[in-house]
């Protein structure tokens, strides 16, 4: 799984196609973040691959689907009968969430820099870490 927000999740088309070509019994893993925790669900990948035509396909070449959670089970709205089971929960404290958001902001700023400015920044950071 490569992304999601609220109750929708997405998977890149290239990944979906690669799994389809493998023709193997892959496992689908979906993580759902709720305030201070991340719940993790697993189930068979094949039903999702078989039903890929029922999924939304975006301009960014990604398949999208909507999830529903009831108790220890997660279902995918677009794939009737596919149910994933709760695997476990990982804590995600507010402090860690704030730290992750700060790192995201810094990464965004760095990506927007020109290659020359990026190299200059890396050089400065390298010098500071040596002292």
* pLDDT digits 0-9 by tens, 47-90: 999 999 999 988 888 899 999 999 999 999 999 999 999 999 98
Query: Is residue 55 domain-shared with residue 118, that is, in the same domain?
Result: no
Q: Which domain holds residue 122?
A: 94-130
Q: Could you tell me if 26 and 17 are in contact, meaning their C-beta atoms sit under 8 angstroms apart?
A: no
For residue 110, what pLDDT band results from cuts at 50, 70 and 90? confident
Q: Is the confidence at residue 1, as pLDDT, over 60?
A: no
In angstroms, the first-to-last Cα distance of the chain is 40
Number of domains in the chain: 2
Handedness of CA 94, 96, 99, 105 (dihedral sign): negative
Q: How far is CA 6 from the centre of its chain?
A: 12
Query: Is residue 49 domain-shared with residue 102, that is, in the same domain?
Result: no
For residue 100, what pLDDT band results from cuts at 50, 70 and 90? confident
Give the per-residue pLDDT at 108. 86
Query: Is residue 30 domain-shared with residue 56, that is, in the same domain?
Result: yes
Cα→Cα distances 91→12, 30, 118, Å: 27, 16, 34
Query: Is residue 100 domain-shared with residue 64, that is, in the same domain?
Result: no
Three-state DSSP state, 114: coil
């Amino acid at each position: 799984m490569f992304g999601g927000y609220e109750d929708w999740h997405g998977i890149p088309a290239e990944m979906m196609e690669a799994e389809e070509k493998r023709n193997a019994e892959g496992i689908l893993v979906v993580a759902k973040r709720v305030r201070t925790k991340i719940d993790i669900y697993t189930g068979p990948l094949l039903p999702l691959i078989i039903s890929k035509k029922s999924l939304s396909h975006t301009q960014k070449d990604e398949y999208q689907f909507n999830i529903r959670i009831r108790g220890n089970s997660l279902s995918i709205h677009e794939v009737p009968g596919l149910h994933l089971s709760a695997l476990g929960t990982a804590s995600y404290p507010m402090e860690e969430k704030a730290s992750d958001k700060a790192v995201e902001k810094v990464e965004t700023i760095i990506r927007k820099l020109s290659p020359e400015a990026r190299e200059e920044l890396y050089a400065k950071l390298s010098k500071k870490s040596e002292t």
